Each structure stands twice: as C-alpha cells, then as structure tokens.
Amino acid sequence: MDMNIGFIGLGVMGQPMAQHLIEAGHEVFLHRVKDTSQHLVEKGGIPTGTPAEVAKAAQVIILMLPDTPDVEAVLFGPEGVAEGLTSGKTVVDMSSISPVATKDFANRIVEQGCAYLDAPVSGGEAGARAGTLSIMVGGTSEVFDQVLPIFRHMGKNINLVGGVGDGQTAKIANQIIVALTIEAVAEGLLFASRAGADPAKVRDALMGGFASSKILELHGERMINRTFDPGFRISLHQKDINNALSTARSFRMSLPSTALCQELFNSCAAQGHGELDHSALVKALETMASHEIGTGRE
C-alpha cells in the first residue's frame, strides 16, 4: 500500500534510503534538499521547507540524522516535527543516538497522540544503496507491523528488539562489538607482521579457525592492502562509542575495552585519519609499534 512518508536527513545514508521509498511508489516529502540530493526531487520526491511541513504532509515521518542533538532539534526545535504532528501519525528515528534520550523523545511524541519507533541501522553506505540494511527496532509490535512494509524497502535483516530505546541499545551493542573486533584483528595482524610472517597468509589461516569473523575477512584485508576509503568513517564510530560510554556512565558501569577503542580512534583522528574507514584504527597501533602491516617497514 502506498503511503505518504516524510524523510528528514538526506546525507550519505539518507539519500539512497529515501530513493528506495520513492522508487517503491510512495509519496515522499523531503527535508532538506541540497544540490547533492536534488536527484531525489527529479525522481518524484517533494521538497519541503521545514520539518513541521513534513510532519503535516506525511503519515510516517522518518529521521536519519547525525546525533542526539540533531534529532532533538528537528523534533522539538522551532518549526520542528512536533509542531506539525496530528494524532495518529508515526515518527521513526533511524539515526544512531542515545537510548536514554530516545525514551524521552518518544514520551513527548506519544503525549501528542502519535506513535514512535527507534530503528537504527547497520550496513553502511553500501547497505543503504543496496537496500540490505540491518534494522534494529524498538517500539510496540503493533506499530512495528504497520511500518514493516516501509522498512522492507530499505533493509533485509529487520528485527523488533523490544520496547522504545531497545533498537538504539542494540545498535550501541553492535558498535561496541565491531570496534573491539577491529582492534583485535588489528593487534593480531600487526603482531604477525612484526614477527616476520606474511599477514595475508596468517589471515587466510585464521579464517578457517575459531578466530574467523566478517571483520577479519573484510577489515583484515583492508589493513593488509591499505584500502581505507570508507566504508564507515572513524568519526562516525567515535560518535557511536561516545553514546556507548556516556550511556554506560549513566548506568554507573564500566566498559574498559570500549574506552580503549575510543582512545585509539581519538589517536587516529589526531593524526588526521578521522574520515578514513574504521579499519584504519590499526594506524594508531602501528604508530605505537613503529611498524606498518604488510610493508615490513619500521
């Protein structure tokens, strides 16, 4: 069934996601259209002036924004989504933000007689373009079932994790595991290279054993071949890990290895590598080892 959809946040991820919805036949109201996203209008997207206008026009309003303050501003700032909502509409935040803030945002939207889902994604720009994103959803099963046909235009692995905020919690857990696994792969391959072994052959051997992982396969190859074009940028992973650490701090719990990965990302950013793929975390370890994987150089 075709549905009026609003889409706010037309960045690297948002543009292809919105395009899938337009191509599926939905009437899609867009904010903010720039030169880089003008092609969406040419395909049938409808530009709007403010988030409030999007909310007035659409039944389901999707956000795909950089961080927690951006979501709050778009929802509740001047001419924000909240000003344009009427009872019965649904807000779907597909950004990756704080689960604690998400619960607060949801409560404020529900008070207006509307529904709220948090639905962060994993899969990066490639997954957004292919329509194969993993989507981790928090909210009620009733609202999830209503929005599921829309999600299916953008993703393949779509799961209702639990209540509001649980989607964001799952995304943070994902980003913790990915960061720590990148760090482990980097240490292992750097050790192998420094010891004089061929890191590519070591990686091949490990792929057949218990250390095998998608990250060893894909990001290990990036480290060996020095192919650090993103991908998923270090600067974005820093943002997600900041959400992990700040949320953990609010729980009075420790995430020691996560904090270590953030410091390694910070070191990379200080060296000017923040816009490289997150597999370039290995560069921080290489600096400390005075050795670069794959070159034998010290």
Given a contact cutoff of 8 angstroms between Cβ atoms, the answer to whether 93 and 102 are in contact is: yes
Where on the phi/psi map is residue 233: left (φ > 0), alpha (ψ -120 to 50), or beta? Answer: beta
Distance in angstroms (rounded) separating the CA atoms of residues 92 and 8: 10
Identify the active-site residue in 56, 89, 103, 171: 171
The string of DSSP codes covering 88-114 is T-EEEE-S---HHHHHHHHHHHHTTT-
pLDDT in tens, the chain (298 residues): 578 999 999 999 999 999 999 999 999 999 999 999 999 999 999 999 999 999 999 999 999 999 999 999 999 999 999 999 999 999 999 999 999 999 999 999 999 999 999 999 999 899 999 999 999 999 999 999 999 999 999 999 999 999 999 999 999 999 999 999 999 999 999 999 999 999 999 999 999 999 999 999 999 999 999 999 998 999 999 999 999 999 999 999 999 999 999 999 999 999 999 999 999 999 999 999 999 997 555 5
User: How confident is the model over 168-218, as pLDDT tens digits?
Assistant: 999 999 999 999 999 999 999 999 999 999 999 999 999 999 999 999 999
The single-letter DSSP state of residue 278 is: G
Given a contact cutoff of 8 angstroms between Cβ atoms, the answer to whether 160 and 141 are in contact is: yes
56 noted as active-site residue: no
The single-letter DSSP state of residue 277 is: B
Long-range contacts of 198-203 (CB under 8 A, 24+ apart): 199/223, 199/224, 199/293, 199/294, 200/224, 200/294
- Name the residue among 165, 169, 166, 138 with its Cα closest to residue 151: 138
User: How confident is the model over 68-86, as pLDDT tens digits?
Assistant: 999 999 999 999 999 999 9
- Name the residue among 187, 189, 182 with its Cα closest to residue 204: 189
Distance in angstroms (rounded) separating the CA atoms of residues 140 and 163: 6
CA atoms in the 13 A half-sphere facing the CB of 292: 8
Q: Which amino acid is at 30?
A: L
**Neighbour-count burial of 256, counting CB atoms closer than 10 A to its CB (0-12 exposed, 13-18 middle, 19+ buried):** exposed
Distance in angstroms (rounded) separating the CA atoms of residues 279 and 296: 19
**Residue 254: CB atoms within 10 Å:** 11
